[in-house]
């Protein structure tokens, strides 16, 4: 584990396409670049003047990433330089999410109910999608396989799919998924990332098909996570802030072809991994506290972000300003990155970065 800072939040954790660098977006107006093997800092990227909410690495250029901030701007960085390569004035409002796509040539940003699209090379705004949503857009991501397709999720309960090859907004909208609740974030998982996992602002998770035959079909869901008995802490009432469960991230388990949900419990940093099906969500593993005398503490605050690296190691980061590395143990997950693995792993979590798992892997069925 590594303590990025004592008095800061980590909002987003990301890994580049070749696995050579990590980056975290923090509340102290900066990004921190780290070595994935040691979790030690390599460089600090400064330039934003408010909280950095989101970041996204380029898909084919490991040294480049984008970030967005509550200062109303987005920036493109080269990890080999201390200053931003590009700065985009997005909006007078906070920018909550950003994503790089179109073969790394475009940057999408979410600000209020609009989605802004910029040309990275020219440093110019290409277009603004004003009518796709009627409420605040919380999350935008280009699809990792077809990077002309831009997905946006908002508080109007919709996930909208835009074909960015089209210049007119009316022609650009190619799909819409009604999520039934406000969309806080989403993740693409599965072979060719053909499954969409949506997390709501009420901590419910719905899993949707994105294939030609099943686009917009509900494959599985986890409702009532806030009140799950394994995740309740403290008084357990609705007015007891932080006492219930919350969504951290979703992963795809390659051996079973199922979606796994990483959930947090209360404010103490406890983590539980669930296997999600249409019928129920079954606990699969607990992220165990570090052993006494190990020198590790694990998390002591709400966990905001997580990702899976090739080889199965899971990284988490959150409001305690700490990054922790977890490896599956014989019975439960351990906090040490050097933790012993069981002879036959019970999980085969797909790496979060799409390119990290391409090549040499047999085709697997879609989840569910």
In this predicted structure, the answer to whether residue 184 has a pLDDT above a threshold of 90 is yes
Confidence band, pLDDT 50/70/90 cuts, at residue 141: very high
- 142-151 pLDDT, tens digit per residue, is 999 999 999 9
Which pLDDT does position 122 carry in this prediction? 94
Mean pLDDT check: name the lowest of 4-13, 83-92, 260-269, 275-284.
275-284
Is residue 338 predicted with pLDDT exceeding 50?
no
My answer on whether 235 and 171 are in the same domain is no
Note the pLDDT of residue 355: 67
CB-side exposure of 48: number of CA atoms within 13 Å?
Answer: 31
Contacts of 141 (CB under 8 A, 6+ apart): 56, 97, 99, 150, 151, 186, 188
pLDDT at 337 over 50: no
Residues 27 and 168 both lie in one domain: yes
Kindly state whether residue 344 falls inside one of the protein's structural domains.
Answer: yes
Unique residue bearing structure tokens 């009532």: 224
Report percent pLDDT > 90 for the chain: 70
Is 190 part of a structural domain of the chain? no
Q: Are residues 165 and 20 in the same domain?
A: yes
The answer to whether residues 17 and 161 belong to one domain is yes
Q: Which long-range CB contacts under 8 A does 208-215 form with residues at least 24 apart?
A: 208/159, 208/177, 208/179, 209/366, 211/366, 215/175, 215/177
The alpha-carbon radius of gyration of the chain (Å, integer) is 19
Q: What is the mean pLDDT of residues 49-78?
A: 96
Lowest mean pLDDT among 54-68, 218-232, 335-349: 335-349
**Residue 279 clears pLDDT 50, i.e. is over it:** yes
Q: Write down the pLDDT at residue 19.
A: 92
Q: What is the pLDDT of residue 58?
A: 97
Number of domains in the chain: 2
Going by C-alpha positions, the residue among 99, 171, 89, 157 that lies closest to residue 129 is 171
- Tell me the average pLDDT of the chain: 88
pLDDT of residue 289: 78
Do 249 and 168 belong to one domain?
A: no
Q: Are residues 40 and 162 in the same domain?
A: yes
Q: How many CA atoms lie within 13 A of 6 on its CB side?
A: 0
Are 287 and 159 contained in the same domain? no
Which of 136, 163, 178 is the endpoint of a domain? Answer: 178
Percent of the chain at pLDDT exceeding 70: 89
Q: Is residue 187 in a domain?
A: no
Q: What's the pLDDT at 343?
A: 38
Rounded to 5 degrees, φ, ψ at 144 are: -70, -20
Residues 171, 314 within the same domain? no
Are 162 and 247 in the same domain? Answer: no
Q: Is the pLDDT of residue 52 over 80?
A: yes
Q: Where among 146, 178, 210 does a domain terminate?
A: 178
- Write down the residue that tokens 């040539």 correspond to: 105
The verdict on residue 195 lying in a domain is no
Average pLDDT over residues 51-67: 96
Instruction: Say whether both 234 and 172 belong to one domain.
Output: no
Where do we find the tokens 């396409």?
17
Phi, psi torsion values for 263, nearest 5 degrees: -120, 145
- 63, exposed or middle or buried, with CB in 10 Å at 0-12, 13-18, 19+? middle
Report the pLDDT averaged over residues 271-298. Answer: 85
Task: Kindly report the CATH number assigned to the domain that includes residue 83.
Answer: 2.130.10.10
Question: Is the domain of 134 the same as that of 270?
Answer: no
Q: What is the pLDDT of residues 217-245, one digit of tens each?
A: 999 999 989 999 999 877 544 554 546 89
Q: Does 26 fall in a domain?
A: yes
Q: Has residue 117 been placed in a domain?
A: yes
Structure tokens at 332: 């439960």
Higher-confidence residue: 198 or 357? 198
Strand arrangement, sheet containing 205-209: 183-189, 195-200, 205-209, 218-222
Domain boundary among 178, 212, 237: 178
Q: Is the Cβ–Cβ distance between 48 and 30 less than 8 Å? A: yes
pLDDT higher than threshold 90 for residue 83: no
| Both tokens assigned to 206 | 């719905």
Question: Average pLDDT, stretch 21-28?
Answer: 95
Q: Would you say residue 204 lies in a domain? A: no
Domain assignment of residue 128, yes or no: yes
Residue-range definition of the domain harbouring residue 139:
9-178
Q: Do both 19 and 145 map to the same domain?
A: yes
Do 160 and 147 meet the contact criterion of CB atoms below 8 Å apart? no
């Amino acid at each position: 584990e590594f303590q990025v800072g004592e008095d800061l939040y980590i909002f987003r954790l990301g890994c580049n396409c070749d696995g050579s660098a990590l980056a975290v977006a923090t509340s102290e107006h900066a990004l921190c670049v780290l070595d994935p093997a040691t979790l030690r800092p390599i460089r600090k990227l400064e330039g934003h003047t408010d909280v950095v909410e989101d970041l996204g690495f380029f898909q084919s250029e490991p040294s480049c990433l984008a970030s967005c901030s509550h200062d109303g701007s987005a920036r493109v960085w080269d990890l080999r330089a201390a200053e931003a390569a590009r700065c985009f004035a997005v909006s007078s409002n906070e920018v909550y999410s950003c994503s790089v796509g179109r073969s790394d040539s475009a940057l999408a940003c979410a600000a209020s109910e609009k989605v802004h699209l910029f040309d990275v090379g020219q440093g110019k705004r290409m277009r603004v999608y004003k009518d796709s949503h009627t409420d605040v857009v919380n999350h935008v991501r280009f699809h990792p396989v077809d990077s002309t397709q831009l997905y946006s999720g908002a508080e109007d309960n919709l996930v909208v799919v835009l074909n960015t090859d089209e210049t007119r907004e009316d022609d650009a909208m190619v799909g819409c998924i009604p999520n039934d609740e406000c969309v806080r974030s989403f993740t693409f998982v599965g072979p060719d990332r053909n499954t969409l996992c949506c997390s709501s602002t009420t901590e419910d998770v719905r899993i949707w098909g994105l294939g030609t035959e099943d686009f917009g079909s509900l494959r599985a869901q986890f409702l009532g996570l806030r009140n799950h008995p394994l995740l309740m802490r403290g008084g357990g009432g609705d007015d007891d802030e932080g006492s219930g469960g919350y969504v951290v991230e979703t992963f795809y388990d390659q051996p079973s072809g199922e979606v796994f949900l990483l959930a947090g419990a209360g404010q103490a940093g406890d983590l539980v991994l669930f296997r999600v099906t249409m019928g129920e969500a079954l606990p699969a593993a607990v992220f165990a506290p570090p052993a006494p005398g190990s020198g590790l503490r694990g998390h002591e605050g709400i966990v905001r972000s997580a990702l899976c690296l090739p080889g199965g190691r899971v990284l988490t980061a959150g409001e305690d300003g700490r990054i922790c590395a977890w490896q599956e143990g014989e019975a439960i997950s351990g906090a040490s990155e050097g933790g012993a693995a069981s002879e036959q792993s019970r999980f085969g979590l797909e790496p979060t970065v799409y390119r990290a798992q391409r090549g040499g892997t047999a085709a697997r069925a879609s989840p569910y």
